Amino acid sequence: MADIIQLLPDHVANQIAAGEVVQRPASVVKELLENAIDAGSTHIQLIVKEAGKTLVQVVDDGKGMSETDARLSFSRHATSKIRSAEDLFRLDTKGFRGEALASIAAIAHVEMNTSDNDDMIGTSIRIEGGKLISQEATACARGTSMLVKNLFFNIPARRNFLKSNAVELRHIIDEFQRVALAHPDIAFDLFNNGNELFKLPAANIRQRIVHIFGNKTNERLVPVQEETEVVAISGFVLKPEYAKKTRGEQFFFVNNRFIKSPYLHHAIGAAFEGLIKEQNHPGYFIFLDVDPGSIDINIHPTKTEIKFDDEHTIYAIIRSAVKHSLGQFNVAPILDFDRDANLDTPYDYNKAVSAKMPTIEVDSSFNPFREETPVSGGQTSERKTTHFGGSFQSKSNNASWENLYVGLEEKEEFSSIELESEEVTGSLFDDESTATESPTYQLHKKYIVTTIKSGLVIIDQRRAHQRVLYEEFLKNITVQRGLSQQLLFPLKMNLSPTEMSLLMELKQSLESTGFVFSSTEGEAVEITGIPVNVSESETTIVLDQLLSDLQNDLPERGFSQADMVARMLCKSLAVRSGEHLNQTSQQALVNNLFATKQPDISPFNKPTFITLTVDEIDKRFL
């Protein structure tokens, strides 16, 4: 039998490795930024074009590489971070696998310019699809510049699986923010298509958070600090009132490396128990410093999952530290055991005057139904008597109290005539088609039940309202005739640079729905007009939720911007389950739903109603 097992060529093995290491342009960004940090850089620039599909460039001022190191860096399993297997369990650097550059070079056009001296003489290497094109001396400053062009040029199937530019750019920004937060002592810049998105100077961690997420974040932060033998915890959590329904600003770092840990995330949620709603998620920036020998980073290709030796202890410490910080800064209610006795009111001092009991004076001779005796001159005497804070006037000037009931019989007859005339008026409609519409009933403040000829219709009120609002917003955006109500006093919102750039992309579509933005300068947005179906108190909440949803629940390719905005607005503004609707609102919602183009499904492809025929109901009684 012939041998069938053979060694794969290097370029095929590199492409297979690239499938694990490089999933999208954001993966390239992560690997190159980590290499720049390991090189001891103090200033790192990230430049992308078309969300990294055309170009990803990272320029650093680190120590650079020699000519030999520059060539070896593109070989598989070549790294300067470890020397033996034992080093894998005491890692304090980022890129230790030695597969990043080899994998990237196998699926892209790569050009590297690097220098390890101050003589402006370095090395330039060009590789395309894993093949060395050229290597020559060049003039460049100390540090390294990595250019990755035409990602997945030789694997069209992988390139076709990439999402839209907006989605891929969002992933790049996420990776950039994670690396920038982990290293606040390094200056970072991010440019997309020639536009500056972030310019982060070297600062402390609180300033870095504010620079990334905007000035509004500063007042929302609650510091967390705890140091034990197992772990040292530092960072911030957001105040409970700023918890969101989406998992947005949630960052865990272990030894300055971003990780994802649902187990530790649950510890933060447990500390916020009772302070936020069940469906909301707290924001946090938590940094854990542990012994490198007590964790294993080498369990996932992306190095975002870590295995701890004693995860249960770390869980308890995190929950306790966060809970203590919320109580220490008066965010959560606490018992005050350190009461200052000097602030107590001294009730028992010597010169105190004893309190007097209040007295009640009652005129026992007062009778409101007794007639006063007349006095001289034919006039009756008047007397006012205080009774529980009120005054009663003598009835001598009024008729007898029995006269108050005179004529009630006539009024009752008049009322009966009124009711009879209304009944006659209501019976004038002989045609059944002009009768009132089918009655509606709200079930558990979630469903609306109404009747049809064949049986019953049960409508989900939230999904139905989403369908109505979605088609209304989509129509307004398409024809650009959204009605707007002007505000007497403009509203101001402070946004982060990411939210501001996203708002500018959606500005035209939002203005078509009825929003009016008078100015958008820096991080401040001034709103002078809002759609007619949005209340003034809900405006900032709706826009904040809209931007948050678009950042975390990015739509797939194929949805237009108008469709995307309409979906997110109807999701925020639709009536919610558990909200009471009166009879008029129920009937209007039913009529508006069946007047839409697709009343049977919501904008998110969920059924809006179900029907129960009379036959189905009859079968239940068999």
Claim to verify: residue 260 and residue 146 sit in the same structural domain: no
Q: Is 397 within a domain?
A: no
**Which of 293, 328, 363 marks a domain boundary?**
328
Claim to verify: residue 181 and residue 223 sit in the same structural domain: no
Q: Is the confidence at residue 553, as pLDDT, over 80?
A: no
Claim to verify: residue 152 and residue 251 sit in the same structural domain: no
CATH of the domain at 82: 3.30.565.10
Condensed to tens digits (0 to 9), the pLDDT of residues 482-496 reads 678 888 888 888 887
CATH of the domain at 311: 3.30.230.10
Q: Is 373 within a domain?
A: no
Claim to verify: residue 217 and residue 94 sit in the same structural domain: no
- Single-letter amino acid code for the residue at 244: K
Round to whole Å and give the CA distance between 467 and 567. Answer: 9
For position 420, what pLDDT does the model report? 46
Q: Is 136 within a domain?
A: yes
* Average pLDDT value for residue range 71-96: 67
In whole numbers, what is the pLDDT of the chain averaged over residues?
A: 79
Round to whole Å and give the CA distance between 399 and 347. Answer: 56
601 or 419: which carries more pLDDT confidence? 601
Show Cβ contacts of residue 143 under 8 Å, excluding neighbours closer than 6 positions. 39, 41, 59, 60, 61, 62, 63, 64, 114, 115
**Which of 307, 328, 349 marks a domain boundary?**
328
Round to whole Å and give the CA distance between 342 and 345. Answer: 8
Round to whole Å and give the CA distance between 177 and 420. Answer: 75
Which residue range is the domain that position 600 belongs to?
447-611
Claim to verify: residue 566 and residue 469 sit in the same structural domain: yes
Q: What is the total count of domains within the chain?
A: 3
Q: Is 393 within a domain?
A: no
Q: Is 622 within a domain?
A: no
Claim to verify: residue 473 and residue 587 sit in the same structural domain: yes
Q: Is the confidence at residue 144, as pLDDT, over 90?
A: yes
Q: Is 409 within a domain?
A: no
Claim to verify: residue 122 and residue 189 sit in the same structural domain: yes
Round to whole Å and give the CA distance between 611 and 599. Answer: 13
Torsion of CA 385, 390, 395, 398, to 10 degrees: 150
Claim to verify: residue 222 and residue 188 sit in the same structural domain: no
Claim to verify: residue 118 and residue 237 sit in the same structural domain: no
Claim to verify: residue 218 and residue 196 sit in the same structural domain: no
Rg (CA), the chain: 37
573 or 147: which carries more pLDDT confidence? 147
Round to whole Å and give the CA distance between 451 and 441. Answer: 10
- Single-letter amino acid code for the residue at 356: K
Q: Is 360 within a domain?
A: no
For position 182, what pLDDT does the model report? 93
CATH of the domain at 605: 3.30.1370.100
pTM above 0.75, yes or no: no
* Average pLDDT value for residue range 223-245: 90
**Which of 166, 200, 234 marks a domain boundary?**
200
Condensed to tens digits (0 to 9), the pLDDT of residues 155-177 reads 888 888 888 887 888 889 999 99
For position 379, what pLDDT does the model report? 47
| Cβ atoms of residues 440 and 450 within 8 Å | yes
345 or 141: which carries more pLDDT confidence? 141
Claim to verify: residue 116 and residue 233 sit in the same structural domain: no
Condensed to tens digits (0 to 9), the pLDDT of residues 7-22 reads 777 666 666 666 566 8
Q: Is the confidence at residue 307, as pLDDT, over 90?
A: no
Claim to verify: residue 126 and residue 42 sit in the same structural domain: yes
Query: pLDDT tier at 382 (50, 70, 90 boundaries)?
Result: very low
| Cβ atoms of residues 287 and 234 within 8 Å | yes
Q: Is 390 within a domain?
A: no
Could you write out the three-class secondary structure of 87-115? Answer: HHHCCCCCCCCCCHHHHHHHCCEEEEEEE
* Average pLDDT value for residue range 503-515: 84
